[in-house]
């Protein structure tokens, strides 16, 4: 399979404030990319803009998937085309059982032309698949009956996101700090799960501050974001350098981007999903 | 191809309730309400003098009472309504005895099918009269009475007269007075001591004619230690002018008994639904109202439980969904008249596309009702900026050492929830329906499975904005 997600000169504003200021990025199916950068540099914004959040207005540039421009598409169209984002803090949907939600989502993503009211994946078939994926990810089967993200611990939320990713098997996944707020064991489990499900089976864009996730998922490419732009791209050694030494060198090397970053921080970062 | 089928199906769904039956009434009173009409109704029903007097007295009360000054806007011309329309000469004991066109109506509404599958008994009311009635043999053998209230006046006069109008007197409010004057049809139920009815008894109320008023009168007596689940459904076709539905429901739960009364009201959006429902619960008895209001132009309905003796329990679950042109002024009343009584109100309302839903509720703890507990939770969900939700909670506490809690929340359907679901491939419509279904799930799961399915389907129709 060869799929390409291409971001060109992407400018994104939230409530009229410019956050991304010309991002270029190209990912191929099967590749693992790390996206790093200090707080407020625009990492989550890039993810949300790719996923199609309506509050993230693309003012310039384009997003294409396999040559098709998806810049104007609604979030559900993008999901059905194979774009996925695992959110940092997914919202709760009280009263909606995780299994029901996943059955709808999985059906729609597998049958992108499905109209509302048309049949879902047969219950028996779906349950069997969900059960096996949950076993694979060491998720308790009781999980399926709980309401979506409702009262979940940090760790449960992240695992639910990974389970969703496993069911939807997208072409490209953006993982927004899927390791944050987890203890060491949980990070290890999440990292291993991502490697098992995602590695070579999709394009992965891993947004992270830490190196734990990247130990299990060594990136072929590391991108550093500052002030709403990708200022540097390297291999896995760049991720290691940033982890060991922080962003001092980057901040000094790109003073314009650093100034933009400071300006954005002063504005308060938009709430991530 | 599959798309065409789906489209046709959904049209079928929309039309499921909005159809008119060409039915020739055997008798139709002229429009308007006055002593002549009331006498005529009583005459047609061949009633004893006491009931005729009761009606005429109620008419005077109706005429003397002002319209309610609160709630919704009621713009009814009482003289432009038909108060009595007799669709057929006799009530069917089997569906084959029901006139074909009326039988077809209830077939389309799925009543005979539901009856076969999971009901203990059925009453089907078309316009003013109950046209079909059934009760499982084993229940009648145990002394259960399930009949229409008109028949009960003739067949069970002592039992009926002992309770009729004792829970909701004609003087209670203008619409209770109107019902008392012109009532027709409704269910009369008596469950003898210790008899527990396993499957629900269902009544289905259908208004078919234009400018029709339906005024059924229901009286349920649950004797000591007995239990019952009664379900009512209501629909009507859409006309250009308004109709009125104004019922009175009285329930007596004796010591240690249990009654659940479930309503799924899906009237057409031109019907004023102004209903008085009240139950009394004696020692250790439990009364539960499950009240789902999806249809009507204006609903004003506040099912009440008066807890008369220690250990009585009242629970009211209310769901209201108001869309364009609808005002659901729904709620509940709990009155603690004895010590150690327990009450709970859970209300969930949804407003969409300019609809307005209000929660109006009263919790009253009378003097002497020590150690009583009441809790009220009302949540409102507003789907768009055009829509509106209000909460009017009234609490009156006349004694000490009681516990009364009230929580209210109003939320707008979250952009973040919508985005989350859409980012997983759900369409906008699927996402909002899922959020709404989730919102009412705590109540829907209280319904028997068949009604839960029905409720979810109705919600989906409301979400599509296609309910006639």
Are B211 and B82 within 8 A, CB to CB? yes
What residues of B are in contact with residue A53 (Cβ under 8 Å)? 419, 423
Higher pLDDT, B309 or A183: B309
CATH 3.30.565.10, domain A4-93+152-266, yes or no: no
Chain-chain contact of A101 with B420 (C-beta, under 8 angstroms)? no
Q: CB count, 10 Å around CB of B290?
A: 24
Q: Residues B431-441, buried b or exposed e (16+ Cβ, 10 A)? A: bbbbbbbbbbb
Beta carbons of A10 and A47 less than 8 angstroms apart: no
Tokens standing for residue B440: 């009412």
Q: Which of A93, A104, A105 sits opposite B438 (nearest CB)?
A: A93
Minimal Cα distance from B2: which residue of A?
Answer: A118
The DSSP output letter for A270 is P
By Cβ distance, the residue of B6, B10, B425 closest to A76 is B425
Asked if the interface predicted TM-score (ipTM) of this complex is over 0.90, the answer is yes
Q: In the predicted model, is pLDDT for residue A6 greater than 80?
A: yes
CA dist B105 → A273, B91, B92, B236 (Å): 50, 15, 14, 11
If one counts every other C-beta atom within 10 angstroms of the C-beta of residue A141, the result is 12
Residue pair B256/B213 in contact by the 8 Å Cβ criterion: no
- Residue A268 — very low, low, confident or very high, per pLDDT cuts 50/70/90? low
Instruction: Look up the pTM and report it.
Output: 0.81
Residue of A nearest to B464 (CA): A116
| CB count in 10 Å sphere of residue B193 | 14
Give the residue-averaged pLDDT of A23-31. Answer: 97
The stretches in chain B having pLDDT less than 70 are: 1-16, 465-468
Q: Contact at 8 Å (CB) between B413 and B381?
A: yes
User: Shortest Cα distance from B458 to chain A (angstroms)?
Assistant: 14
Q: Where do we find the tokens 């997983």?
A: B424
B252-267 pLDDT tens trace = 999 999 999 999 898 8
CA A56 to each of CA A17, A161, B146, B292: distance values in angstroms, whole numbers, following the listed order:
10, 21, 61, 39
Rg of chain A taking only CA atoms, in angstroms: 18
What number is the average pLDDT over the span A199-217? Answer: 87
Domain chopping of chain A, boundaries: 4-93+152-266
d(CA B444, CA B433): 14
Query: What whole-number distance in Å separates Cα of residue B314 and Cα of residue B335?
Result: 9
Terminal alpha carbon distance of chain A: 31
Q: Among partner residues A74, A90, A104, which is closest to B420 by beta-carbon distance?
A: A90
The interaxial angle of helices B35-44 and B174-182, nearest 10 deg, is 50
Strands A93-97 vs A147-148: parallel, antiparallel or unpaired: antiparallel
Longest dimension (CA), chain B: 69
Name every chain B residue with its beta carbon within 8 A of the beta carbon of A95.
Answer: 437-442
pLDDT of residue B226: 98
pLDDT tens per residue across span B61-110: 999 999 999 888 999 999 999 999 999 888 888 999 999 989 988 888 88
């Amino acid at each position: 399979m060869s799929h390409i997600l291409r971001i060109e000169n992407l400018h994104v504003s939230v409530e009229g404030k410019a956050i991304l200021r010309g991002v270029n990025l190209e990912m191929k199916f099967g590749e693992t990319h790390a996206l790093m950068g200090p707080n407020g540099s625009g990492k989550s914004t890039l993810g949300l803009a790719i996923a199609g959040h309506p509050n993230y207005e693309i003012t310039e540039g384009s997003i294409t998937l396999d040559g098709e421009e998806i810049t104007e598409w609604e979030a559900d169209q993008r999901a059905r085309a194979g774009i996925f984002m695992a959110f940092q803090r997914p919202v709760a949907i009280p009263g909606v059982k995780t299994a029901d939600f996943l059955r709808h989502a999985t059906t729609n993503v597998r049958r992108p032309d499905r109209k509302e009211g048309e049949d879902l994946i047969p219950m028996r078939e779906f349950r069997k698949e969900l059960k096996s994926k949950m076993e694979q990810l060491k998720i308790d089967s009781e999980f399926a009956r709980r309401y979506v993200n409702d009262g979940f611990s940090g760790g449960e939320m992240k695992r639910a996101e990974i389970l969703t990713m496993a069911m939807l098997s997208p072409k490209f996944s953006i993982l927004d700090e899927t390791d944050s707020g987890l203890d060491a064991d949980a990070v290890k489990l999440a990292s291993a799960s991502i490697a098992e499900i995602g590695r070579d089976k999709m394009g992965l864009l891993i947004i992270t501050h830490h190196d734990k996730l990247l130990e299990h998922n060594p990136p072929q490419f590391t991108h550093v974001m500052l002030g709403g732009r990708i200022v540097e791209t390297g291999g896995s050694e760049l991720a290691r350098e940033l982890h060991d030494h922080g962003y001092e060198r980057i901040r000094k090397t790109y003073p314009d981007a650093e100034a933009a970053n400071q300006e954005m921080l002063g504005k308060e970062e938009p709430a991530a999903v | 191809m599959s798309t065409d089928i789906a489209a046709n199906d959904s049209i079928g769904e929309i039309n499921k309730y909005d159809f008119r039956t060409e039915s020739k009434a055997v008798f139709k009173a002229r429009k308007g309400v006055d002593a002549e009409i009331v006498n005529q109704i009583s005459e047609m029903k061949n009633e004893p003098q006491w009931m005729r007097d009761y009606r005429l007295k109620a008419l005077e009360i109706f005429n003397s009472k002002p319209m309610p000054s609160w709630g919704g806007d009621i713009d009814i011309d009482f003289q432009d309504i038909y108060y009595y329309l007799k669709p057929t000469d006799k009530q069917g004991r089997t569906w084959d005895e029901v006139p074909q066109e009326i039988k077809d109506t209830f077939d389309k509404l799925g009543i005979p099918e539901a009856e076969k599958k999971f009901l203990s008994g059925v009453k089907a009311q078309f316009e003013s009269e109950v046209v079909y009635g059934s009760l499982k043999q084993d229940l009648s053998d145990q002394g259960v009475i399930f009949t229409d209230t008109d028949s009960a006046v003739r067949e069970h006069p002592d039992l009926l007269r002992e309770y009729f109008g004792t829970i909701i007197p004609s003087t209670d409010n203008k619409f209770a007075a109107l019902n008392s004057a012109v009532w027709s049809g409704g269910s009369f139920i008596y469950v003898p001591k210790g008899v527990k009815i396993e499957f629900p008894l269902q009544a289905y109320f259908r208004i078919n004619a234009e400018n029709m008023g339906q005024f059924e009168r229901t009286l349920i007596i649950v004797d000591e230690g007995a239990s019952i689940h009664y379900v009512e459904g209501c629909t009507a076709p859409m006309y250009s002018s308004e109709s009125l539905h104004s019922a009175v429901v009285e329930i007596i739960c004796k010591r240690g008994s249990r009654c659940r009364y479930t309503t799924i009201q899906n009237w057409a959006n031109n019907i004023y639904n102004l209903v008085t429902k009240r139950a009394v619960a004696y020692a250790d008895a439990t009364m539960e109202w499950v009240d789902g209001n999806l249809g009507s132009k204006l609903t004003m309905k506040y099912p009440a439980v008066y807890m008369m003796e220690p250990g009585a329990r009242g629970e009211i679950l209310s769901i209201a969904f108001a869309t364009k042109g609808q005002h659901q002024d729904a709620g509940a009343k709990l009155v603690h008249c004895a010590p150690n009584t327990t009450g709970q109100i859970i209300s969930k309302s949804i407003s969409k596309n300019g609809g307005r839903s209000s929660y109006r509720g009263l919790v009253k703890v009378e003097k002497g009702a020590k150690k009583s507990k009441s809790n009220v939770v009302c949540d409102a969900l507003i789907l768009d900026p055009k829509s509106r939700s209000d909460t009017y909670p009234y609490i009156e506490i006349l004694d000490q050492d009681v516990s009364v809690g009230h929580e209210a929340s109003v939320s707008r359907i979250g952009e973040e929830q919508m985005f989350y679901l859409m980012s997983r491939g759900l369409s906008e419509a699927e996402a909002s329906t899922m959020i709404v279904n989730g919102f009412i799930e705590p109540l829907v799961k209280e319904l028997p499975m068949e009604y839960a399915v029905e409720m979810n389907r109705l919600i989906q129709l409301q979400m599509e904005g296609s309910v006639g």
